[in-house]
Chain A
């Protein structure tokens, strides 16, 4: 396989947006090109979870090439639940690595606010196993079951769990693309509405709109994609061996580290999937940054904050940046590319050379890990 590099990235601000999905993708594309027309694109990979139900439009891969003026280029849509953005990036990566294409465009997005919240939750809940769904389980309920067991096994306090949204909202203040750019106090997080005990509103990422874009090329640039790992696990939580660790993250992480020839200790900055607060802590352990049960302690000690030895989610993560499901994985890539180029402004992690993204599809059962490295 030959080297694959990122040339340009861009994204829209996430949040409740009036524009259509294709307009949001155009805005992300223009953000990446600096306003210029898309030229010399050999293929387009579109990550989106469910445009048919969220927006009423199907055939998105072609709708995008039409609306964005990229006629003739082959275009395909990748649906990998909320890991659609990173899976589209993965497919694009291999298309360049294989030698088939030299320059490809990855677009990812979701438009979720055009329908009622209840309807959006109904659509999102389809990724849950039917027997669990038929009992009234929601994604938050599954995360709550995991959180309860984790807190029991490792003695994590409710206050320490709330440090995840507090940290990530603090980071989001400095991200102009984030949906939420204001501080959330520990008290506010702890007093927010109970959704599924012990998880409260501030433990959960939002339902919103947004898009991201990235160009991959065989020509050497300042950022190389060095590792991609992807793994699945059972859909029902009741089939899983562990309730405090995600098998798909562990295996995806091992695959990405092996491909990149890297180990957890080499990572300088990371964007990991905090759709629910407990997941950030569990992910930080499954990816090998901290031993099992110690992710919460590392957070409480500030090790994963902006001044720590491994800043997690400098963008604000899914919690503060917002979580338009299909867009998230590619927005994570955007953030890491900016970090590696030293272009992350006030949220810059000094001297970041190796970055990692981790994106979850389903409730922790179709996960993608990507490693990117700065090449001076």
Chain B
């Protein structure tokens, strides 16, 4: 997974030229796809252009980075381990 890291200690799971924590130039970093569920929800009232239900999950990666994904894992619980995969620019959480 492509991310960005900074000498200030902040690592994020998005490519950012500028560190969002301190404003210095961020360095590109490759992050492991191994992930653990931090929290999740099922959206029952979907925004325009989407169909409910939408299973969203926020997962933790290495170095404190986090990323929001659509979940493809059936039984969901905080602490569940899995992987983040990218398909057509969208992140999915899979077991």
Contacts and interface: CB of A to CB of B under 8 A. Distances in A.
B12 A141 contact: no
Interface in A116-137: 118, 121-122, 125, 131-137
A149 B38 contact: yes
A61 to B, nearest CB: 30
B12 A137 contact: no
Size category of the B interface is: 20 to 34
B42 interface: yes
Contact of A197 (B14, B41, B78): B41
Nearest to B69: A135
Given A145-B39, A234-B20, A135 B78 contact: no
Residue of B13, B39, B90 contacting most chain A CB atoms (<10 Å): B39
B73 to A, nearest CB: 15
A194 B44 contact: yes
Interface in A125-167: 125, 131-138, 140-141, 144-146, 148-149, 152
A138 B58 contact: no
Residue of A125, A138, A146 contacting most chain B CB atoms (<10 Å): A138
Size category of the A interface is: 35 or more
Nearest to A117: B45
Contacts of B48: 118, 121-122
A196 B46 CA distance: 9
Interface in B43-89: 43-48, 50, 54, 56, 58, 64, 66-70, 78
A121 B67 contact: no
Contacts of A133: 47
Contacts of A258: none
B41 A135 contact: no
A135 B54 contact: yes
A92 B69 CA distance: 42
Given A144-B41, A149-B39, A135 B58 contact: no
13 contacts: A118-B48, A122-B47, A135-B91, A136-B50, A136-B54, A145-B39, A193-B44, A196-B44, A197-B42, A199-B41, A237-B68, A241-B64, A243-B38
Interface of A: 118, 121-122, 125, 131-138, 140-141, 144-146, 148-149, 152, 193-199, 234, 236-241, 243
